[in-house]
Amino acid sequence: MTQLTFPDGFLWGAATAGHQIEGGNVNSDWWPREVAPGSDIPEPSGDAADSYHRYREDIALLAASGLNTYRFSLEWSRIEPAEGMVSRAALDHYRRVIDCCHEFGVQPAITIYHFTTPRWFADDGGWRNPASVERFARFTEIVLPLLDTASHVFTINEPNILAMIFAGKEGNQQIQAGALPDPDPVVTGHIIAAHRRAVDLVRTTGRPVGWPVAPQQFYTDPGDTRAAEVMRAYAYPRETVFLEASRGDDFVGVQAYTRTRITADGPLPAPDDVEQTLTGWEYYPPAIAEAARLAHDVTGLPVFVSENGIATADDQRRIDYTRGALAALHAEVARGLPLIGYLHWSLLDNYEWGSYRPTFGLIGWDRETFERHPKPSLAWLGEVAKANAVDTE
């Protein structure tokens, strides 16, 4: 058994997102689609994990395990329910969440916006509307006072996935393994412009700011030069452009779960003969380390792993996967990668964009009573955090 020790001051934590855990997010663009008769979405988010009310219990469990950082998002549709109308009560709520983190000695890492928008924003063209840039800048200004004690601020979660799936040409749909739709270049331009505006605004708080990109770890068969060309062209609008847009930020976030093989004919879904997770993705723990290296090579920035995890009903497999991911990350650190921290996705089982079936959580909960059931993986990761080291066995 080898102990792999991480750099001093390394942040260890877990991440969530508003719509996936809070519940009752009725004013978001997702809600009406979830409840529409004949919806293409299998299951509505409903009460989710009711973390809007139970955040204290969730943060207490995170802290008790030994983790020291909680990444969560501010729900735009609660804070600005109608254009220009600010809910003081919603801002107060997130202030209480932040205060609660501090009370338990946990650093808040805050995502300004994680996939869901207010209905009014979506109804008026969403990210296709040029006004989206100004609208996001205004929202960022509204939440600036909440960011003053954030360890790190993430502007827009996974802008590349947002451009492809959530605001892409094909509209919202479930995240699929394999082929991803073409991003709409207009949407991409607006998202990047919105990020740049937000970075300038967040800089006035003095808190480190960046955004988390989700590289898909495209790979080709060795020596297949045609496939390599296809891969570069495929990857550019889907991730490289967003990494390039991080240059000048304080850090770059990376989020990765799996890898995707590309041939001369394009990307392929996970093959049948490999272990697949509950999202149909290949079980491939080194993905996050490869993504972190790529993000650093493109941007030159320190890297923060702001999501990584596995959808599985087998918690021992979650531990195995995370140990493999951390060992691969450690090897990159040993090769000089500046790594800020590791945040596991997710603190809680949650609404995986259409279904509660893929369970990513370190903590489960009862669908009727919301009673929390911490899994062995939470205690395991907490021990890793306390030791600031992972063992390889």
Candidates 345, 356, 365, 380; binder of ligand BGC (CB under 6 A) is 345
Closer residue to ligand BGC, CB minimum distance, 12 or 115: 115
How big is the CA angle at 108 (ends 379 and 84), to the nearest 5 degrees? 135
Question: Segment near ligand BGC (CB under 6 A), from 94-102, 156-164, 270-278, 317-325?
Answer: 156-164
Candidates 11, 14, 17, 202; binder of ligand BGC (CB under 6 A) is 17
Q: Which amino acid is at 308?
A: N
How many residues bind ligand BGC (CB under 6 A)? The answer is 11
Question: Segment near ligand BGC (CB under 6 A), from 3-11, 64-72, 84-92, 153-161?
Answer: 153-161
Closer residue to ligand BGC, CB minimum distance, 118 or 227: 118
Closer residue to ligand BGC, CB minimum distance, 332 or 352: 352
Candidates 61, 214, 252, 347; binder of ligand BGC (CB under 6 A) is 214
Element (H or E) spanning 317, and its range?
helix 315-334
Cα–Cα distances in angstroms (integers) from residue 22 to residues 42, 51, 54, 59, 379, in the given order = 19, 4, 9, 13, 23
Tell me the closest approach of the beta carbon of residue 16 to ligand BGC, in angstroms.
9
Strands 266-267, 303-307: parallel, antiparallel or unpaired by DSSP?
A: unpaired
Written as six digits, the tokens of 362 are 């370190």
* Cα dihedral 50, 52, 57, 58 sign: positive
Closer residue to ligand BGC, CB minimum distance, 71 or 78: 71
Tell me the closest approach of the beta carbon of residue 393 to ligand BGC, in angstroms.
28
Cβ atoms of 88 and 95 within 8 Å: the answer is no
Q: Which amino acid is at 61?
A: L
Give me the phi and psi of 91, to 5 degrees please.
Answer: -60, -40
Rounded distance, CA 52 to CA 21, Å? 8
Tell me the closest approach of the beta carbon of residue 48 to ligand BGC, in angstroms.
12
50 lines the binding site for ligand BGC (CB under 6 A) = no
48 lines the binding site for ligand BGC (CB under 6 A) = no
Element (H or E) spanning 33, and its range?
helix 30-35
Q: Which of 34, 75, 80, 158 is catalytic?
A: 158
14 lines the binding site for ligand BGC (CB under 6 A) = no
48-82 burial by CB neighbour count: b if 16+ within 10 A, else e?
bbbbbebbebbbbbbbebbbbbbbbbbbbbbbbbe
* Total residue count of the chain as it appears in this document: 393
Candidates 352, 362, 374, 390; binder of ligand BGC (CB under 6 A) is 352
Candidates 307, 329, 342, 390; binder of ligand BGC (CB under 6 A) is 307
Give me the phi and psi of 5, to 5 degrees please.
Answer: -95, 140
Q: Mark whether 229 is an active-site residue.
A: no
161 lines the binding site for ligand BGC (CB under 6 A) = yes
Written as six digits, the tokens of 389 are 């080291």
Rounded distance, CA 79 to CA 91, Å? 6
Pattern 251-290, ligand BGC, x by CB under 6 A: ----x-----------------------------------
157 lines the binding site for ligand BGC (CB under 6 A) = yes
Residues marked active site are found at 158
State the residues that interact with ligand BGC by CB under 6 A: 17, 20, 157-158, 161, 175, 214, 255, 307, 345, 352
